[in-house]
Amino acid sequence: MAFRLRLIIAILVAKAIMWLVRLLGRGKGSSLPGMVALKICPGILGCLARQASRGVVMVTGTNGKTTTNNMIARVVREAGYRVVVNAEGANLITGVTTAFLKAASLSGRVDCDYALLEVDEASFPRVTRQVYPNIVVITNFFRDQLDRYGELDKTISLIREALVQLPGTGLVLNADDPLVAPLATSTGKEAFYYGLGEHHQVASFSAAAREGRFCPHCGRELFYAYYHYSQLGNYRCPGCGFSRPLADVEGTEVSQGDHRITCRLRSPAGSHELVIPVPGLYNLYNGLAAFSAGLSLGVEPGVIIGALAGYTPATGRMERFLYRDKPVLLNLVKNPTGFNEGLGALLSLPGPVDVLIAINDNDADGRDISWLWDVDFEVLEEHHHRLNSLVCTGQRGAEMAVRLKYAGVPLDKVVVENMHRAVEHVLNGSGNTAYLLATYTALWPLERILSGYAKRESRVESLPSVS
């Protein structure tokens, strides 16, 4: 009775906070309700999550969690199921709890088929102590916010140890990442692998920061037949024989253009053309992960393909706007590998481009911004003729400008402005496109300012709760 009483009080208080946050216009209310509810009733998350009648899918890893999880949610909804999903990317235990609270009735009932949860790597053990996932999708592992996560080995170890405690959980793993692929053998779990085959954009050399340079089993340096980006590619160890596993779902014949990326897909369900209406090779990986998760849940491949072709990105994930016929793209960046891929997408745009880079150093961004020196900004020197201006803003905008200076970018193209003036600068620049890159806490204020000037081209992926 005591637990039941705490549960109802926690839900009432959380829903009151959600209402108040909306009334005051103070953010999305995607974490605070869960934080307070967990204080009142520590077991509330497990109680609510157990009501997902067909099970729970979790997505974790460094990059692509929000996009992959929202893609899976779209697939599952198209298949006719009701879902609970933390679609806004609030992926700590407080955000996961809030997602269930939004779906819960005042009596604590959650009427859904699947819970689809993006979970922060460091929070994964804490969340899985309350929520049992039937399937865990792991996207990739890259160095990220060292002051918060610590070294990458520690992050991988946390997830591996948590997985071992989950009997019966199946894995969907990125075969191309030598840091992800071994989790099947090291945890003794069944795995369904996805990856990319060789295509015309692969490279024989990767100068970017690579975390998976050495074999996770014997420590010998890995040999690569080719790279997709960073440590993702076709690898093998000359010492112990560890190698890229055969992918159950594999993309080939990759093609990019017109704000989308496509490939030919081979899977146990046959051959299909996969269209992801968001540019970037990393988004193709997200689509492959979502396709694999959909197949694992028994969704028909035609339904999955159709759902992914209609996907619209969440806020800041290559989100598209239009300002006086000028295309505007807003993209989140948070670590060297993601930033490098963001720069790759920038250089694929028809020039000239007006660029805004917003860097904050709050706790959610990581207080240490030294990671900016691991980003390959030097590519902007080589292609500076395609860039009309580079406007730096945010709490560490000045340091960003210094980084561009040492990367060799012509200083007459670099400007430091406050956020409002920075947005006005790139929107009214003479470039064909405006491209905005922002860290976590800079993203939301930047999106609010941008929304005041530019029209969002497509509805942001927003999945209704089941309540």
Residue 464's pLDDT is what? 34
9 and 108 in contact (C-beta within 8 Å)? no
E strands, 268-352, are 270-276, 317-323, 326-332
Task: Specify the 3-state DSSP secondary structure of 436.
Answer: strand
More confident residue, 229 or 265: 265
**166-205 confidence digits (pLDDT tens):** 999 999 999 999 999 999 999 999 999 999 998 877 777 7
Residue 270's pLDDT is what? 93
> Is residue 250 very low, low, confident or very high in pLDDT (cuts 50, 70, 90)?
very high
Phi, psi of 162 (to 5 degrees): -70, -40
Q: For the chain, what percent of residues have pLDDT higher than 90? A: 71
399 and 372 in contact (C-beta within 8 Å)? yes
Of 40, 45, 20, nearest to 99 by C-alpha is: 45
Dist CA 323 CA 426 (whole Å) = 10
| 368 among known catalytic residues | yes
Residue 458's pLDDT is what? 61
Q: Euclidean distance between the first and final Cα of the chain, in Å?
A: 25
Dist CA 68 CA 96 (whole Å) = 16
> Is residue 280 very low, low, confident or very high in pLDDT (cuts 50, 70, 90)?
confident
Using only C-alpha atoms, the chain has a radius of gyration, in whole angstroms, of 22
Phi, psi of 416 (to 5 degrees): -115, 125
pLDDT at residue 210 greater than cutoff 80: no
Pairing of β 232-236 and β 249-257: unpaired
Residue 220's pLDDT is what? 93
Residue 413's pLDDT is what? 93
Q: What is the DSSP letter of 371?
A: G
> Is residue 256 very low, low, confident or very high in pLDDT (cuts 50, 70, 90)?
confident
> Is residue 149 very low, low, confident or very high in pLDDT (cuts 50, 70, 90)?
low
Q: In the chain, count of helices (H) and strands (E)?
A: 16, 18
Partners of residue 414 on adjacent β-strands: 390
> Is residue 412 very low, low, confident or very high in pLDDT (cuts 50, 70, 90)?
very high
pLDDT at residue 124 greater than cutoff 90: yes
Residue 460's pLDDT is what? 46
More confident residue, 207 or 38: 38
Q: What is the DSSP letter of 352?
A: P
User: Is residue 239 within a helix (H) or strand (E), and if so which, with residue range?
Assistant: none
349 and 431 in contact (C-beta within 8 Å)? no
Dist CA 139 CA 205 (whole Å) = 22
**Residue 376 CB contacts under 8 Å (≥ 6 apart), including other chains:** 207, 208, 336, 340, 343
Dist CA 237 CA 215 (whole Å) = 6
Residue 275's pLDDT is what? 95
Average pLDDT over residues 306-319: 83
315 and 447 in contact (C-beta within 8 Å)? yes
Query: In Å, how far are 166, 413, 431, 452 from 446, measured between CA atoms?
Result: 40, 21, 19, 10
Dist CA 254 CA 269 (whole Å) = 19
Average pLDDT over residues 207-229: 84
More confident residue, 280 or 125: 125
**223-244 confidence digits (pLDDT tens):** 999 999 889 999 999 999 999 9
Could you write out the DSSP letters of every residue in 131-144? ---SEEEE------
Residue 462's pLDDT is what? 42
Mean pLDDT of the chain: 90
User: Which of 65-79, 106-120, 297-311, 441-455 has the lowest average pLDDT?
Assistant: 441-455
Which of 368, 374, 376, 412 does the annotation list as catalytic?
Answer: 368
Would you list which residues are annotated within the binding site for Zn(2+)?
215, 218, 237, 240
Average pLDDT over residues 327-349: 88
pTM of the model: 0.84
Partners of residue 251 on adjacent β-strands: 196, 265
The number of residues making up the chain comes to 467
pLDDT at residue 286 greater than cutoff 50: yes
pLDDT at residue 209 greater than cutoff 60: no
**Residue 386 burial by CB count (10 A; 0-12/13-18/19+): exposed, middle or buried?**
middle
Other beta carbons within 10 Å of 445? 16
Residue 367's pLDDT is what? 86
Residue 382's pLDDT is what? 86
Dist CA 392 CA 115 (whole Å) = 39
- CA atoms within a 13 Å half-sphere pointing along the CA-CB vector of 460: 18
Residue 267's pLDDT is what? 95
Q: Given CA atoms 318, 257, 310, 289 in this order, what sign does their dihedral have? A: negative
Residue 461's pLDDT is what? 46
E strands, 44-134, are 52-60, 83-85, 112-118
Task: Specify the 3-state DSSP secondary structure of 421.
Answer: helix
**Residue 125 burial by CB count (10 A; 0-12/13-18/19+): exposed, middle or buried?**
middle
> Is residue 313 very low, low, confident or very high in pLDDT (cuts 50, 70, 90)?
confident
Dist CA 53 CA 92 (whole Å) = 23
Of 360, 431, 349, nearest to 390 by C-alpha is: 431
